Amino acid sequence: MKLSDDQVRRYWDDGCLLAEGVLSDADTQPLIDELCEWIDKRAASLHADGKLSQLHEDAPFETRYGRLVQQTSEMGRGMDIMHMRGAAMFQFLHNAALLDAVSSLVGDEITCNPIQHVRAKPPAGDADNSWSHGVPWHQDAAVMMPEAEGSNVVTCWIPLGDSTSENGCVQVLPGVAGGGYIRHQKEGGTMIVPDLQPDVEPVFAECRRGDVLFISRYTPHASVQNRSDRCRWSLDLRYQPTGEHTGRTAHPDFVVQSASNPGNVMDDVEEWRRLWIDAFENPSGAAMHREE
């Protein structure tokens, strides 16, 4: 789904845009199924090791993970895109409806930036040692190398269920991205130095499954704790024009759309998996969080 001219203008004016109905349930269901399969296997392994007493096999997707992680924080170990390397996830990174919208912001030659995550934000009472209590104010530019200062990296924050103020949806500060990078600190988690926090009223970006929240790398955003009884599941993916610096040379980027050279598009999941494995086994390049 291409974004309208008005939506594109609002993204550049505000540094963020909530686009409703970009994706269908059919687009995201394979991801949910793949996550459920991973959770099944992980829970079975931890149960066999005596680290889980209850498997909660009949619990729905929205609540099962929280009940499991409440028993052991090891439940979430390895649950991220680059470690799971699932076929459904790889296919989704090429999703035509998503890329149609992304192309409205970065052009038709699109690279998938290597900074990409799947997030399970459990209820705060289920995981006291997790980030379920919230994420401090930060810019995505803070997790990129300074060399990517001029790159047009767009974050796509994608809920896999309803994301509300109750379960810790994203908050954004609209209209300040034009000021560029703000100095961050590591204390308290990678966050904007409190004295430099823009004096702007936060907006709760509540959204539903199928919506996409587009965020500029310079837009401050955060989230509050999950006060509900269910997990807040989401993806945050990043795309950019092909040829621009990714800000993370230690990890693999790849072309997902090219009108000028379709042969450059990576469509081999095994090659994608190999690149990630090689990045971990033979580390090189940089993966850093900025401060200055």
Structure tokens at 132: 């379920």
Residue 79 lies in a domain: no
Residue 152 lies in a domain: yes
Residue 147 lies in a domain: yes
Q: Which domain holds residue 247?
A: 5-25+85-281
Angle at Cα 247 formed by Cα 242 and Cα 248, nearest 5°? 100
Residue 20 lies in a domain: yes
Q: Give the pLDDT score at 1.
A: 81
Phi, psi of 68 (to 5 degrees): -75, -45
Phi, psi of 101 (to 5 degrees): -70, -45
Contacts of 75 (CB under 8 A, 6+ apart): 42, 43, 46, 52, 65, 68, 69
Closest CA to 113 of 93, 135, 131, 98: 93
What is the C-alpha to C-alpha distance for residues 13 and 53, in angstroms, rounded to an integer?
Answer: 51
Residue 271: other Cβ atoms inside 10 A: 12
Q: Give the pLDDT score at 9.
A: 98
Q: Do residues 32 and 120 lie in contact, with contact meaning Cβ atoms separated by under 8 Å?
A: no
Residue 210 lies in a domain: yes
What is the C-alpha to C-alpha distance for residues 70 and 185, in angstroms, rounded to an integer?
Answer: 30
Verdict on whether the full-model pTM lies above 0.85: yes
Residue 241 lies in a domain: yes
Name beta bridge partners: 212.
19
Q: Give the pLDDT score at 128.
A: 53
Residue 59 lies in a domain: no
User: What confidence tens digit (pLDDT) does each residue in 193-234 have?
Assistant: 999 999 999 999 999 999 999 999 999 999 989 999 999 999
Q: Give the pLDDT score at 285.
A: 96
Q: 44: helix, coil or strand?
A: helix
How many domains is the chain built from? 1
Q: Give the pLDDT score at 129.
A: 47
Which residues of the chain carry a pLDDT beneath 70? 126-133
> What amino acid occupies position 261?
N
Say which CATH number the domain at 133 has: 2.60.120.620
Residue 60 lies in a domain: no
Closest CA to 273 of 254, 248, 256: 254
Residue 115: other Cβ atoms inside 10 A: 23
Closest CA to 141 of 176, 107, 90, 188: 176
Q: Do residues 214 and 154 lie in contact, with contact meaning Cβ atoms separated by under 8 Å?
A: yes
Q: Do residues 257 and 110 lie in contact, with contact meaning Cβ atoms separated by under 8 Å?
A: yes
